[in-house]
Structures are given as C-alpha cells and as structure tokens.
Amino acid sequence: MPNMIVCVKQIADPEAPPGSFKVDEATRQVTPASGVSQVVSPFDEQAVEAALRIKDAQGGKITVISLGKNFVMDVIKKPLSMGADELILLQDPAFDGGDSHATAYALAMAIKKVGEFDVIFCGRQAADWDAGQVGSGIAEILGIPSITPIKKIELADGKAKVERIIMDGYQVIEAATPLLVTVSNELGEPRYPKLKGIMAAAKKEPITWNAADIGADTAKCGAAGARSKLMKLFVPVKEGKCEIIEGESPEEAAVALALKLREVRLI
Amino acid sequence: MAENKGVMICGEIIEGKLAPITMELLGGGRALATKLGEELCAVLLGSGIGDLGKECIAFGADKVYVVDDPLLKEYQTDAYVTVMEKVVKQVSPSILLMGTTAMGRDLAPRLAFRLGTAVSMDCTALDIDPDSKLLLQTRAVYGGNATAVYVCEGNKPQMATVRSKAMDPLEKDDSKSGEVVKVEAGLDPSAIKWKVTDTVKEKIEGIKLEDAEVIVCGGRGIGSADAFKELEPLAQVLNAAVGATRPPCDNGWVSPSIQIGLTGKIVSPTLYIAVGLSGSSQHMAGCSGAKNIIAVNKDPEANIFKEARFGVVGDFKKILPALTQKVKELRS
C-alpha cells in the first residue's frame, strides 16, 4: 500500500477582504489583521484531497508535514480530520525568515527522516507568498522526478498516471514512483471533515521536530539559508475613479452604459 | 566558472513558431542588457527549430543558443532542466529569464535549485539597481494584495520568470545581426523519468482569451451553469471572448480553461466587462492589463468598482439583455 507524504502550510485566510490587508513597509512584513483566521493554504488542502482519493481507492498511509510557527491546532489538524494518518510539525526558531530554498531544504530533510514514500504531494503554490517553488525544490533536493501542476493522480503497479495541466488542456503522463506532484485547484473541491474524523483527529498528537531532529544544517535553514532577499514590500495604490452609470431601472442604466461606451469609443 | 555576464532568456516554441512570451522576454531582456551594457542571448530548446534562432535575433537577441534534439520535442522536466543546466554553465549569464508559463513554472524552480541559485516567480517588472547592478525583481504576493521587490545577492545567475504581457516586445528588425550557435543536447534518454502518453486539448470556440480585444467575464454572482449562458449574447454582439473567475470553474459551471486570474489565464483586452465578480486580488492579477474595466455588480461595495472605469450597480439578469440590445442597435 502506498506511503504518501503531503506538505501543507498554515496561512492567514486569503479570502479575507483586501481592505483588511496591511503591511509594515519598514520591516517588510505583513501586519496580522485582527479577525482574520488562519487556514490551511487552499492548494495544500487539495494536495491532501489528492492523497485521500488514492487512500480511498487502495488504502495506504498519509503523513502530513508542516513547517511554521504559531500553529493553531484546530487548523493544522484539518488534514487529519479529513482522513490523513499522521501530522509532523517542523518548529524551530532556526526556520524563521526562510525563502523557498530554505523551506524546501527543511521539508526535504524531514521527508528523509520519515523514510519510505511513494508520492509526495504539495500545493501548486501557497496562497500567501505565491512563490510556487517549494514542491519542485523538494524533488530536486531528494533527486526524484516532479510533475507540476496536476489535476489528477492514480497509482497502479508501482507506477503513477498523472494529468498535468498545460495551456488549454492537460497531458496524461506515466511516471515511475517515487515522485513529487504539486496539486492545482482543477483537482476539485477538497472534502469536508466528518464528525468522526474530527473526533479522531482531536485524539491524535502531532509529532514535533526541530532542526536537530531532522539533521538539518542550520546554516541552510531560515534566514541564514535564504538566497533571495526581500528589499521592499508595499500595498499597490488603486486609483478608484469609477463612474457609476445610473438609471431609473436596471434596464435604463444598461442603455445609458451602452451610450457611454459608444461616447468614449469603446464600442 | 567564468565571471557571470550578460542576460539570457529561455524562449518557447509553440507549434513551430516562437511563442509570444519569447518576444516579450527578448524585449524585456534587451532593456536590462542595455542598462548593464552587456549582451542579450536567447536559448531555444526543441526539435526541428529551423530558422527560429534568426527570428530571436530580429527581436533583439545578440546571440542565440539552439539545442535541437528529438528528445526536446515537447517540454519534459528532466530533459529541459538537464539541458538548461548545461547551457547556463557553458555561457555563465548574470541574469536568466523565462516566462511564467506551463514550462517556466515547472522548469525555473528546479533549475534554480540545481544551479544553487534563487528564482523569483511571476515577476511583473524587472529593473537594474543603479548602485549594486543587481536585478530588481518585482512580483505580486498575497494574491496581488501586496507587491514585493526581491534581489538575489550572492548567487548567479539571478533568475526570474516573467508574467505574460508584462514586457513589451521590440519591433521585428530583420536587418539586425547576431550569431546562432548550435549546442548538442547530449541527453541520456534514461535521465528522462516520465513520459507523456496523451495530450488532451480543450476545444476553445471563438476567440482565444489571450488574444481577445473584448472580454465578458463572469464570477460567483452568476450563480449557475445555466445563468452563465446569459453572458453569451453580449459576448456575441461585442465579438468578445467569455472568461470566468475561479469559483465558476471550481463549481463546474464552466471549463477551467477559461479561468482568468493568478492561476489561470493572463489577459489584456481593451474592454473588460466584469459581471457578478467581486474583483478579488487573485482574479485581478489575471486582468490587470485590461485597459478599460466595466463592472456590473449588485453590491456597490464590491472591490471591482475600485478597479473599474464605469460601473452599473444592479442585477445582471436585467442589465445584460438591455445592454446587449442597445449595443446591437448602436452597432447596426
């Protein structure tokens, strides 16, 4: 039965209204907005879902790994309540301030410690920094093939059949395992946890590993291991000069809009 | 390794022609090379590349490295990473640019990790810092809520992928001189770890979103697959393509191939009619190049009104038929 690993990230809810979003330009950090909840990054939930569909079909074990800090247990345990088997949290001040490279390194070291695996799943990109390279990075460090981004994966006889998204369609790919895939929203909605799953997850204690536990060289972790440097972070200014076209009724407003578009030669 | 110098772009070929992103990269790369006083080179990987190397020169390259090999006919991660690693090590550029495309998104991170450098994905602007001469890499983060500028100080090449339509191509100049250099792929077929057994292209009826001058785009507020069809008459009279935000695609109302946004298509029409969509940053990332946005939405507080030039507040089911009728009249 397949051993599967899913990497997930806890982030501030990306669906929060843009108005609540603020940055501190001096420290180049996002200011946590009050009332915005933490969630599992949406593409990562889809990565969990992709693994669960394989588990539904043929069984197997799903280990979820997350690197971060200030974990909210109800949030980060969601993959367990959806049906994953084990949760490993990577927490160490040495991991702070890392870029994609430092993060992929730490995750790869943790995966090495987990040991055997057939497929690693990541989200196509985290919905906070949108970098979209940790998955490929892990694969490169581990020296295994990667397929990104995908909308479907099935396993049979030690081989994977994968649908990789390309412009205006998809490719059907045959790959040997072990391999890494990054999952996109085209996979479909992830399942909601069932009450039974939530109760089971509540009883499970996550495993916590620090840099030393996974044998990571702290010079390659966090800020020390980062290769790209953030020089500036700001919220772009929107002009907001919309002219609202009005009318006695919606139909009249529509006619006025058509006339306006003609007047400015847009139609 | 020799001192890293010059700007390199990795071009793309679609159906035997240079993809538009190739010209955009050449245009953007040329501007950077000029600021640095260095050369611009291009790399083309493929099979049966023919004269496309010369075309890269006409669009701004000083030198083109062509790697023509049957194993490179179609993009494949292992093959392309291996060959690009070889070319980059041979040429030692200071900057390496690719497109944020199905190829660039997959190739760039793996190549950056292999070369021991970093890459900024999906940049919307690139510049040279006048003091440090480093590449300033501007990209949207937090789904477009913020803009970040990165540099890569200690490692070369400095890598970035560039969003489509973010850079302007140069006018084609067939008289421009340059050099085309052939490079052997030298690929060991066993290095290729997966293979494509089938390619499924979704049929796009009418105008392609990326090429459309007018787009009618629907969002979550449209409500259903049937209601989405109500966008079509307006699209027809305007000769427009129909697009969607993510929720209609995820809900299965429309094909995912018409999704416009950060993880979908990037469009830049003259006229963009946004119907029943809130204007999330995620979505706006795909249409920030639209020259005139028209918003139709029930909610006067929707973010899309901050982005639009003209707006109508109200029910699209009442507004669209009247708008369609009037446009038809005006055009006849």
Q: Which residues of A242-257 are buried (b: 16+ CB within 10 A; e: fewer)?
A: beebebeebbebbbbb
**Angstroms from B54 CA to nearest CA on chain A:** 26
Residue A85 has pLDDT above 50, yes or no: yes
CATH architecture of B209-331: 3-Layer(aba) Sandwich (3.40)
3-state class (DSSP) for residue B328: helix
Domain with CATH 3.40.50.620 in chain A: 3-225
Per-residue pLDDT reduced to its tens digit, A5-59: 999 999 998 877 777 888 999 999 998 888 889 999 999 999 999 999 999 999 9
Q: Do the Cβ atoms of B327 and A258 come within 8 Å?
A: yes
How far is the alpha carbon of B154 from chain A, nearest alpha carbon, in Å? 7
Q: Are A133 and B109 in contact (CB under 8 A)?
A: yes
Band (A74; pLDDT cuts 50, 70, 90): very high
Cross-chain residue pair A130–B119, CB shorter than 8 Å: no
State pLDDT tens for residues A91-136. 999 999 999 999 999 999 999 999 999 999 999 999 889 899 999 9
Which of A68, A102, A105 lies closest to A227 in space, CA to CA?
A: A102
Distance of CA B1 to the CA centre of its chain: 32
Q: Which of A133, A231, A245 sits opposite B119 (nearest CB)?
A: A133
CB B209 within 8 A of CB B267: yes
Nearest chain A residue to B323, by CA: A254
Q: Is B303 left (phi over 0), alpha (psi -120 to 50) or beta?
A: alpha
Is B122's CB within 8 Å of A130's CB? yes
- Say what the pTM is: 0.91
| H or E element at residue B304 | helix B304-307
Q: B1: helix, coil or strand?
A: coil
| Contact criterion met (CB < 8 Å) for A189 and B112 | no
CB contact under 8 A, A133 and B151: no
User: How many Cβ atoms are within 10 Å of B177's Cβ, its own excluded?
Assistant: 7
Mean pLDDT by 10 residues, chain B (332 residues): 87 95 98 98 97 97 98 96 98 97 96 97 96 96 90 96 93 96 95 94 82 95 97 96 94 92 87 95 86 95 93 97 96 85
Write down the domain spans for chain B.
7-191, 209-331
Contact criterion met (CB < 8 Å) for B142 and A170: no
DSSP chain A: --EEEEEE-EEE-TTS-GGG-EEETTTTEEEPPTTPPEEE-HHHHHHHHHHHHHHHHH--EEEEEEE-SS--HHHHTHHHHHT--EEEEE--GGGTT--HHHHHHHHHHHHHHH---SEEEEESS-TTT----HHHHHHHHHT--EEEEEEEEEEETTEEEEEEEETTEEEEEEEESSEEEEE-GGG-PPPPPPHHHHHHHHHPPPEEE-TTTTT--GGGSHHHH--SEEEEEEPPPP---PEEP--SSHHHHHHHHHHHHHHTT--
CATH code of the domain made up of A3-225: 3.40.50.620
Say yes or no: A41 contacts chain B, CB-CB below 8 A.
no
List the one residue out of A139, A142, A109 whose CA is nearest residue A122. Answer: A139
Q: How far is A171 from chain B (nearest CA, A)?
A: 4
Q: Residue B197 and residue A172: Cβ atoms within 8 Å? A: yes
Helix axes A134-142, B102-115, angle to 10 degrees: 50
- In this prediction, residue B1 carries a pLDDT of 46
Give the pLDDT band of residue A254 (cuts 50, 70, 90): very high
B202 touches A: beta carbon within 8 Å: yes
Contacts of A230 in chain B (CB under 8 A): 148-150
Tell me the average pLDDT across A224-237: 93
DSSP lists the bridge partners of residue B43 as B10, B65
Q: Residue A159: closest CA among chain B residues belongs to which residue? A: B194
Q: How many alpha carbons fall within 13 Å on the CB side of residue A114? A: 29
Q: Which chain A residues touch B322 with a CB distance below 8 Å?
A: 250-252, 254-255
**DSSP-derived pairing of the beta strands B194-201 and B179-182:** unpaired
Task: Return the residue of A nearest to B204 by Cα.
Answer: A168
* CATH number for the domain running over B7-191: 3.40.50.620
Q: What pLDDT is recorded for position B2?
A: 55
- Using CB atoms within 10 Å of the CB of residue A219, give its burial: 0 to 12 exposed, 13 to 18 middle, 19+ buried: exposed
C-alpha span between B40 and B45 (Å, rounded): 17
Strand, coil or helix: B69 = coil
The residues that bridge with A3 in the sheet, in sequence order, are A61
Q: Is the Cβ of A128 closer than 8 Å to some Cβ of chain B? A: yes
- Extract the tokens encoding B148: 């970040």
Of A175, A259, A260, nearest to B194 by CB-CB distance is: A175
Asked if A139 is an interface residue toward chain B (Cβ–Cβ < 8 A), one would say yes
Name the residue in chain B with its Cα closest to that of A46: B250
> B194: which chain A residues are within 8 Å (Cβ-Cβ)?
145, 147, 162, 173-176, 179
Closest CA to B43 of B107, B105, B106, B102: B107
Q: Distance between CA B287 and CA B102 in Å, rounded?
A: 18
Element housing B286 (H / E): helix B281-287
Does B199 sit within 8 Å of A171, measured CB to CB?
yes
Q: Give me the residue from A162, A168, A258 closest to B204, CB to CB.
A: A168
Domains B7-191 and B209-331 equal at CATH topology level: yes
Is B191 at the interface with chain A, CB within 8 A? Answer: no
Report pLDDT for A126: 93
DSSP state of B332: -
Interatomic CA distance for residues A153 and A147, integer angstroms: 10
ipTM: 0.92
Mean pLDDT of chain A, nearest integer: 94
Over residues A149-178, mean pLDDT: 94
Task: Provide, as residue numbers in chain B, all residues whose Cβ is less than 8 Å from the Cβ of A253.
Answer: 312-314, 319
The reported pLDDT for the residue numbered B74 is 93
CA B222/CA B249 separation, integer angstroms: 12
